[in-house]
Structure 1
Amino acid sequence: MNKEKPRYSNHITAIKPKTTKLRPFIVADTETLLDEKSHAHVPYAVGYMLVSPGDDVGSKADYEIETRFSESHVKFLPKMEDRSKRMMFEFLNSLERTLTVNKSVRTVYFHNLAKFDGIFFMRHYVERTDNIYRFKPLIRNHMLYELKVHKGRKLLMRFRDSCNLLPGSLASLAERLCPQLGPKGSIQHQEVRLSNLQERGEELLSYMRQDIRLLGGVMLKAQEIYWLNYQIYIEELMTLSSLATRIFRMKYYDEKRFPIHIPNRNEDTFIRRGYYGGHTDAYIPSGENLYYYDVNSLYPFIMKTYPMPGGVPVWRGNLEGERLDDLFGFIEALVVCPSDIIRPFLPYRDKNSNTLLFPTGQFAGVYYSEEFQYARDLGYTIIPLRGYLFEKKASPFEAFVSELYGSRQRAKKEGDEAMSYVYKTLMNSLYGRFGINPVSTVTELCDRERYEEFLRKDNFTSANQLTENYYIVSYITNRAEDKDWNPPRISAVQISAAITACSRINMYQYISRDDCYYTDTDSVVLGSPIPDEVISSTELGKFKLEYFVKKGIFLAPKSYYILTTEEKRVLKHKGIAKSLVNEEWFETQYAELHKTKQIPVQTNFQIDWESLNVMKREKIVNLGIKVNTKREPVFDNNQTWVDTTPLNVTDYAGQEKRILEYNLECLQKENAMKDREIEQLRSLIASISSDSLRKDEQGRSQPSDDPNNPAIQSHSSPTLFKHPPIKNKNKNKNKHTYRGKKKKKKPG
């Protein structure tokens, strides 16, 4: 019986450029105000502009930007909610007419569709009972990537997020890519209310038109750049990482020399356990006169320089006794990190908090073999158990990185901010695409019939009823227990895991220094400068001095304050309360490490998936830092926080038997050594005792402590004497031969 052929290749394939002609597209925007009762954002204006290749966006008149304003219906619809719904319907209807005339247009770009504009359109869809348009969202892991708009069975258009292709604020993107269009406008959004909406109408519409112009200019420039340089039409791709991957596969990838294997379910599940990411830690909490260094494009440097796992992996179920130097791939092993390593190297993910630690102790895990070899040389004990072995091959990314980095340096010299930005984002976006997880949460809008189908499936996770007719449901794909396995055709986790592992290796020589205060993946803060030969502001993989630090406080990963010698203040704090921290807070928190304070924080744009609203909400947060989550603080005699020590971990991870066997082996070896020492002592004692009984011709005993005693000469051991023996007790009768206080004579 013939085996069924796989539907796809088992490795990533190279692709050829397409001859697709550039097509026009549409850019759009919505503006909202905050409903004072519901605290939900309500759209009051929406607009769009058609952009064709070669257009001069700056010369487009206001009338070429189609706008809709809710207050145009104020005479007929007294409720703001009804006016907003009517406006949104007219917008869709106007878009449909434009697409009827311009049949090649299919894509409408919004800047921040995922977290803002797209939510309003989905809500509009589920709330209208007479809606002639049907929306089909593409939502993965609670991120909206695309909204397809159907009329009947016909696909009319697709809404996409320009942020996914061009990360950054609209203002900064416009400044880089189309500065000739002028700056982004500014309004105080919190001052826009229903009571003044009508009178401010033209001002608000003018602000929206400028945003639409800027987005049109940004997308037009991006379309031009990628078409002229790579023959890629950006409308075919939804994310920057997919764009970088397309360029790599089309221009640089040699699948014959290095076919990048697509792991099957077992391979992906096992190797993904060894995909840890970057190394972030705070070591010394406070310091002065420090040096803050960044690496020039760390991940691209690793991709270019280090060998990568190639070929089809081979499973080895028993690697005990194998030499680490003979293994290349992803290995599950028992790890013992000595307690005297102050800056441990190997990562460990805490299963309860999902925190990435770098601890001492005993634990089992999956790691890249290059990490194990490096850790062994640092003093770790590594006992390999099993794993997938690959071929060690020269990197397939050398040409990709070299050409893009060289192009970026030329663009910077020429002052071409647009191309410098493009080359940088492409270089840094490729590696993550290979690590995309096949297991994902999918969210759908559906009717009751479809909802009831989901209830009967075991991969169903949650659902909320939005209206009488519509539900929003979530389910998980590609679970371990599912029969079907349908991973993304670009998923190759071994590549991303190898890149991040080698990055940690590359940085460790600086992280492990006693004067390392802080590290964050590709940066370190040190107490003294690094050698000149590893410093360069332009050379790939070398360090550039970002700041001379006059004073620094490093409370936790992603939470630090820096005052530079130029009096520039740099503050980082992870979480929704980051806008509340300042220099004074860092000083106070450093002095009182465990201090927390409950503070109300307003979030203006929080998505409520249960109602499909963008809300303004107030949360009470504990402003402080989490202590002992990655390292333990160390205090001096004055109770001043001066240092940290690593956490100690014991996690057998299902390998209890083998770790206990290892501990038994160690104990047996230790006892065997003690037994040998005991036997040596017994032998020596017996020898000395035998010699002391022998007498010379005059009948005198040989002194047992005489250095000329042959027994002492033949059995001497430096571990027997910690202090030299006292040779002559008769010469210094009045001196004590022990260390301690002299005894006082009793009176009389």
Structure 2
Amino acid sequence: MLQKPPRKRKTKSVANRPIATIDFETDPFLYGREPRPFCAGFYSLEKGFHEFWGADCVARLCEFIGGLSEAHTIYAHNGGKFDFHFMLEFLENPVKIISSRIAAVKMGIHELRDSYCIIPIPLSAYEKDSIDYRLLEADKRDANRAEIIAYLKKDCTALFDIVSRFVDRFGLQLTIGGTAIKTLRGIHPFDSTSKWHDEKFRPYYFGGRVEAFKTGIHKGEFKVYDVNSMYPFVMSEMQHPTGKRYQTGYQRIIDKRGRIAGFADAPFYFAKIECEQMGAFPVRMKDAPLNFEIPRGVFHVTSHELKAAIETGRAWNVKVLEVMVPEETISFREYVARFMEEKISAKARGDKAGEIFAKLLLNSAYGKFAQNPAHYFDYWIGEPPNEEYEVYSADIDSIDIWRKPSEREAFYDVATAASITGGARSVLMRALSNSVNPLYCDTDSIICSQLEDTLHQTELGGWKLEAEGNEIAIAGKKMYALREGSHYVKTASKGVVLSGPEIFALCSGKSQHWKNEAPSFSLGKNRVKFVERTIAGKNSGVE
């Protein structure tokens, strides 16, 4: 019996493929219970919305996708940390994994992508309906099927809308960092560097400064100030090194304005110095955060920080052991101005997606300069093609994932990143020197009694007043609560979710126990984890 030839599938370049979105509804999150999907949704312009209800919804969704004759790029928001983990048996190589997140993976002729990689915000920040999650429990979902499917459809269509707009604007990009650096490079061309260059300048690269100067409970008048767009401001208004060519000097004299002999007119330099200091320069400690409290030693600094430290009296008896001056410097003023204008314009006309994109582009480029390919791997699902791969994730009940070090050497310029982050710390340093009774700082914000500086609510790089209160509890870095009377005006609790009263209780010596109802999905061992933590009480008294 003659068989019909297989249906010829339409092929298009990856950039021109139609876009689709998928999403799952699962059991409501409950600590210790692994959620399972009971409904799946698919949406595209060509096919419209399709739902798949029941315990076999994952298999039926994958069967539907497999039956599409035209190759699609299919997005799921946070799919690489959630949705794709329910689909592992249907996924194929090649797979791209970034920070334990499945960023992109093949499924037949289609490619699945995690839209969180390009739009790293909760979907609710753009458009999302609400639902009583208790309706998703097994004993209630069938009676509320119509409402659940309407909710699922809205998630799929909202994601489709914002992803389509992103792709129309920026093309089919994998990450927001890659999108930002590509866009920036189109406006301000710069050369890539090398492994040697990276190793030479990486000691000068540090992140933001986070300090709890005083812990415990404090009474008084306290204010929270922060900078309008700190990193875009530094990128725009300061000069930064670019390229591979530097002039080097050793054992040079430095004056009271931070100018180094032989390079007095240099707009920027790196310096390896020995000095005494008071909270000006960081030292990277082994297995610990940055330490700004080393009173004397050798420090790797940018000219932004060194000049600020000398001017504010935070560094003295400075000896310049080595100075490196770039032959070329650059500022990113046009890039910043373009996307600041886009952000303001989009907000004024109610274009939420446009405002989100502009914010992301403004804050995602600088970190990409510092990317380190030494941390990159190539991954493989199932039996690897050669012995270069080692096991990354093995599970007797699931799919093995293997990896090998990547051969790609994609170095942008860590020196540029070091200058930008150093510039941000210099802005913070000057503000700390102008603050009365500083209690806490975090990258672009200060909590103190008063900031004796010019304030501006909207100006790029201006300090603005964010909150005021009369009592604050500080348990440590990223853990504080400020209140005005009984009203909590500002809280922070990284790694756990604690309320204002719980943070005050913590600072009164009462330990706090927290557990996350939502599981964490990973590609390592124990792929589904439930996190709970106990934070020991810290009784420092009340001041």
Q: TM-score range by the shorter chain?
A: 0.7 to 0.9
Gap change, CA 1:185 and 1:511, over 3 Å in 2: same
> Deviations 1:178-201 (Å, cap 9, x if unpaired)?
xxxxx51313158512x5555554
Aligned residue in 2 for 1:337: 276
> Deviations 1:507-540 (Å, cap 9, x if unpaired)?
2122133422221111112212534xx2222211
Deviation at 1:22, TM superposition (A): 6.3
Aligned residue in 1 for 2:3: none
Aligned residue in 2 for 1:310: 242
Aligned residue in 2 for 1:6: none
- 1:436-451 equivalences under 5 Å are 436-442=371-377, 444-448=379-383, 450=385
Given candidates 578, 583, 587, the residue that maps to 2:504 is 587
- The amino acid of 1:188's aligned partner reads Y
Aligned residue in 1 for 2:194: 264
Aligned residue in 2 for 1:495: 416
Aligned residue in 1 for 2:153: 209
Gap change, CA 1:612 and 1:158, over 3 Å in 2: farther
Aligned residue in 1 for 2:250: 319
Aligned residue in 1 for 2:25: 31
Aligned residue in 2 for 1:188: 133
3-state SS of paired residue (2:286): coil
Given candidates 416, 420, 431, the residue that maps to 1:510 is 431
Deviation at 1:575, TM superposition (A): 1.3
Gap change, CA 1:189 and 1:276, over 3 Å in 2: farther
> Deviations 1:388-414 (Å, cap 9, x if unpaired)?
43125341x111112222333334344
Gap change, CA 1:473 and 1:184, over 3 Å in 2: same
- The amino acid of 1:118's aligned partner reads F
Contact 1:45–1:67 (CA<8 Å) still a contact in 2? yes
Deviation at 1:37, TM superposition (A): 12
Aligned residue in 2 for 1:721: none
- 1:562-581 equivalences under 5 Å are 562-564=482-484, 567-576=487-496, 578=497, 581=498
Q: When the two structures are aligned, how many residues end up with a matched partner?
A: 518
Contact 1:313–1:388 (CA<8 Å) still a contact in 2? no
For 2:372 and 2:527, locate their aligned partners in 1 and report how far apart those are by CA, in whole Å. 28
Deviation at 1:372, TM superposition (A): 3.0
Instruction: Please state if 1:111 is matched with 2:43.
Output: no
Gap change, CA 1:641 and 1:474, over 3 Å in 2: farther
Gap change, CA 1:382 and 1:475, over 3 Å in 2: farther
Given candidates 385, 402, 408, the residue that maps to 2:321 is 385
Gap change, CA 1:525 and 1:600, over 3 Å in 2: closer
Instruction: Please state if 1:288 is matched with 2:246.
Output: no
Given candidates 51, 61, 64, the residue that maps to 1:91 is 61
> Deviations 1:708-738 (Å, cap 9, x if unpaired)?
xxxxxxxxxxxxxxxxxxxxxxxxxxxxxxx
Gap change, CA 1:148 and 1:303, over 3 Å in 2: same
- The amino acid of 1:301's aligned partner reads F
Aligned residue in 2 for 1:139: 97
3-state SS of paired residue (1:320): strand
For 1:587 and 1:600, locate their aligned partners in 2 and report how far apart those are by CA, in whole Å. 15
Aligned residue in 2 for 1:400: 335
For 2:155 and 2:387, locate their aligned partners in 1 and report how far apart those are by CA, in whole Å. 42
Deviation at 1:606, TM superposition (A): 1.2
Deviation at 1:588, TM superposition (A): 3.3
Gap change, CA 1:348 and 1:220, over 3 Å in 2: same
For 1:142 and 1:389, locate their aligned partners in 2 and report how far apart those are by CA, in whole Å. 38
Deviation at 1:470, TM superposition (A): 4.8
Q: Which runs of 5+ in 1 are unaligned?
A: 1-18, 53-62, 72-83, 126-132, 151-155, 175-182, 227-231, 455-459, 478-483, 628-638, 643-748
- The amino acid of 2:472's aligned partner reads G
> Deviations 1:567-589 (Å, cap 9, x if unpaired)?
3532211113x2xx333333333
Contact 1:271–1:366 (CA<8 Å) still a contact in 2? no
**TM-score of the pair, normalised by structure 1:** 0.63
Deviation at 1:113, TM superposition (A): 0.9
Contact 2:93–2:381 (CA<8 Å) still a contact in 1? no
Contact 2:247–2:326 (CA<8 Å) still a contact in 1? no
For 2:514 and 2:362, locate their aligned partners in 1 and report how far apart those are by CA, in whole Å. 40
- The amino acid of 2:395's aligned partner reads L
Deviation at 1:211, TM superposition (A): 1.5
Deviation at 1:169, TM superposition (A): 1.7
For 1:453 and 1:345, locate their aligned partners in 2 and report how far apart those are by CA, in whole Å. 45
Gap change, CA 1:567 and 1:199, over 3 Å in 2: closer
For 1:37 and 1:289, locate their aligned partners in 2 and report how far apart those are by CA, in whole Å. 40
Contact 2:436–2:451 (CA<8 Å) still a contact in 1? no
Deviation at 1:298, TM superposition (A): 0.9
- The amino acid of 1:472's aligned partner reads I
**TM-score of the pair, normalised by structure 2:** 0.85
For 2:252 and 2:73, locate their aligned partners in 1 and report how far apart those are by CA, in whole Å. 58
- The amino acid of 2:107's aligned partner reads V
Deviation at 1:367, TM superposition (A): 2.4
> Deviations 1:158-187 (Å, cap 9, x if unpaired)?
11112222222222211xxxxxxxx51313
- The amino acid of 2:49's aligned partner reads I
Deviation at 1:304, TM superposition (A): 0.8
Deviation at 1:92, TM superposition (A): 2.2
For 1:529 and 1:363, locate their aligned partners in 2 and report how far apart those are by CA, in whole Å. 30
- 1:389-468 equivalences under 5 Å are 389-391=325-327, 393-395=329-331, 397-442=332-377, 444-448=379-383, 450=385, 452-454=387-389, 460=390, 462-467=391-396
Cα-Cα RMSD: 3.3
Gap change, CA 1:313 and 1:359, over 3 Å in 2: farther
Contact 2:225–2:465 (CA<8 Å) still a contact in 1? yes
For 1:346 and 1:172, locate their aligned partners in 2 and report how far apart those are by CA, in whole Å. 37
Aligned residue in 1 for 2:44: 50
Given candidates 550, 561, 571, the residue that maps to 2:481 is 561
Deviation at 1:136, TM superposition (A): 3.1
Instruction: Please state if 1:545 is matched with 2:465.
Output: yes
Q: Which runs of 5+ in 2 are unaligned?
A: 1-12
| Structure of higher RCO (CA pairs closer than 8 Å, 6+ residues apart) | 2
3-state SS of paired residue (2:184): helix
Contact 1:444–1:473 (CA<8 Å) still a contact in 2? yes
Deviation at 1:207, TM superposition (A): 2.6
Greater C-alpha Rg: 1
Deviation at 1:276, TM superposition (A): 0.8
Contact 2:126–2:352 (CA<8 Å) still a contact in 1? no
Gap change, CA 1:407 and 1:572, over 3 Å in 2: same
> Deviations 1:267-314 (Å, cap 9, x if unpaired)?
202312211111111223424222211211111111111111133233
Aligned residue in 1 for 2:173: 237
For 2:31 and 2:475, locate their aligned partners in 1 and report how far apart those are by CA, in whole Å. 40
> Deviations 1:685-727 (Å, cap 9, x if unpaired)?
xxxxxxxxxxxxxxxxxxxxxxxxxxxxxxxxxxxxxxxxxxx
> Deviations 1:584-626 (Å, cap 9, x if unpaired)?
333333344xx645x36244221253568545x353x221378
Gap change, CA 1:544 and 1:416, over 3 Å in 2: farther
3-state SS of paired residue (2:461): coil
For 2:167 and 2:211, locate their aligned partners in 1 and report how far apart those are by CA, in whole Å. 40
